[in-house]
Amino acid sequence: MSQDARAEALRALGRFLVAERSIGDTLLEVSQITTNAMPAAEMAGIALVGADGKATTGVFTDDAAPEIDESQYRSGRGPCLDAWRQKRVVRIDDLSDAVDRYPEFMKAAQAHGIQSTLSLPLIAGDDGIGALNLYARVIDGFSEEDEQVGVDLAGAASIVLANAAAYWQAAQLSEQLSEAMKSRAVIEQAKGMLMAQTPHLGPDDAFDLLRRASQRENLKLRDIAQRIVDRRSSASGDGATGRP
């Protein structure tokens, strides 16, 4: 790999704006950037570890990648899993030499013409969160220089992924809080309408009416409140009641 390709790949990762992409798009772009930086790499896949502790290939640049990776997940052994579990680079220069270590993986990979692989750990803090796997259809597809550069790229990719996950978690939390505030506002508005219609009705009594209507009709409390607000707004002059 040329220094220019390495520098450009790192610059591309450094320019990443996670706000413009979903997690899936982020992972795909990271895979493509790394694959483009490795001349022999025919395809890439990113294996991430779920909450259940199991790995899955969520993003890939070729349909063959998840099929190859699945052989590792089924057998519980493979370069991708070792890269993740041991947090180290696993490079296989000739898959024929891996028959004793990873027989299932070797068979699946060679069925797709893969002859050499490079698995790079993705690490966030002290935790292994997955691995970036590169596949070549030639023996010795990845050099020692590729391995060294791959470590740099995987490190940058890990930061990108950690930032992306943090951004989308924050965005989802913000969206949830916004929805909660909207719900509270419409419920308070509906309570006010009920109290105005029935002067002796207090705030707690008005809320209890909404709650009972919600249970009776199996609808969310916010939906019941919104229906009252909409009905009162559209029929305020024809004597329509605003009760739930």
Radius of gyration of the chain (CA): 28
pLDDT computed for residue 211 by the predictor: 83
Across the chain, where does the E strand assignment appear?
A: 43-49, 55-60, 90-92, 116-124, 127-136
- What is the per-residue pLDDT for 118? 96
Residue 137's contacts (CB-CB under 8 Å, 6 or more residues apart) are: 42, 113, 114, 115
Query: What pLDDT is attached to residue 176?
Result: 58
The DSSP 8-state label assigned to residue 137 in this structure reads S
| pLDDT value of residue 244 | 67
At 173 the pLDDT is: 47
In 3D space, the residue among 44, 101, 33, 32 whose CA is nearest the CA of residue 68 turns out to be 44
Q: What average pLDDT values come out for the chain (244 residues) when binned by 10 residues?
A: 58 54 69 82 85 79 90 93 93 94 94 95 81 94 87 75 59 56 78 85 84 84 86 60 57
- pTM comes to 0.60
* 3 state DSSP class of 234: helix
pLDDT of residue 212: 86
Contact partners, residue 214, CB within 8 Å, separation at least 6: 220, 221, 223, 224
175-184, Cβ contacts within 8 angstroms, sequence gap of 24 or more: 182/222, 183/221, 183/222, 183/225
CA neighbor of 42 nearest in space, from 142, 131, 111: 142
* Rounded CA separation 119/142 (Å): 11
| Structural domains in the chain plus CATH codes | 3-171 (3.30.450.40), 179-234 (1.10.10)
Map tokens 């004597």 to a residue: 239
DSSP for 9-38, please give it.
HHHHHHT--GGGS-HHHHHHHHHHHHHHHS
Secondary structure element (H or E) that encloses residue 193, with its range: helix 144-197
Rounded distance between C-alpha atoms, residue 197 and residue 209, angstroms: 13
Residue pair 93/116 in contact by the 8 Å Cβ criterion: yes
Torsion of CA 158, 24, 16, 10, to 10 degrees: 50
